[in-house]
Structure formats: structure tokens, C-alpha cells
Amino acid sequence: GAVVSQHPSRVICKSGTSVKIECRSLDFQATTMFWYRQFPKQSLMLMATSNEGSKATYEQGVEKDKFLINHASLTLSTLTVTSAHPEDSSFYICSAKDGLQNQPQHFGDGTRLSIL
């Protein structure tokens, strides 16, 4: 099956640090990648959608200057949390899909981000 690799799986860093999370599709071309965030006991919330070679589309309430998304190739998207603060501590997970209709999204393992 389709494999998506996400790393790092866990990050602990000081407030003010910028953190980059990578999401790679290993065996298919991901025309679209999605970034989600999950707070404790809540559902996965879509942060942004990125299509290869174009700017990401952010959901309402998500700061695009805080969460920089790059999707430079059909196999790689990155999320950079800039100048992270404790309130950015959360679980971040990416998914990817090809261009076909009615296909599922393929998820990475997620990244647990803790800002001290």
C-alpha cells in the first residue's frame, strides 16, 4: 500500500525555536498533501492543503506566517512552525493523496511537538 513517511516523530524544544516537519510520499506521487493538528481529546483538524508547486491554502484561523508550508515536489511537503511557543505544542500529522477521485488519504505517523 501507499506509504507516507513523516519525521521527526517527536520534538522537544525551547520557546522561540522554529521547527521543520517533513512529509514524504515514498511510493506514489502526491499531488496534494494535507497538514492536520490534533489537540488532546479532539478530532484531527485540517490546517492547510498544499498542491505541488503552488501556495498552500490555509483553513480559517490558521496563521500562514506562523505555519509555513512548502510543497516543492510531488513527494515532499514541509511544515515549519516558526518561533514556536508553548501554545503551539500539539500533535501534527500529514497526509497525501494522488490525483484520482474517491481515493483515501495516506497518513504519516505524526509528530508530537512540545515547546518548553
Partner 1 sequence: ILNVEQSPQSLHVQEGDSTNFTCSFPSSNFYALHWYRWETAKSPEALFVMTLNGDEKKKGRISATLNTKEGYSYLYIKGSQPEDSATYLCAFMTGAQKLVFGQGTRLTINP
Note the residues at the interface with partner 1 (CB under 8 A): 4, 6, 32, 34, 36, 41-46, 49, 93, 95, 102-110
C-alpha cell at 9: 516523530
Nearer to partner 1, 67 or 84 (CB): 67
Nearer to partner 1, 70 or 105 (CB): 105
Q: Give least dist CB 70 to partner 1, A.
A: 20
Q: Give least dist CB 82 to partner 1, A.
A: 24
Nearer to partner 1, 5 or 89 (CB): 5
Q: Give least dist CB 96 to partner 1, A.
A: 11
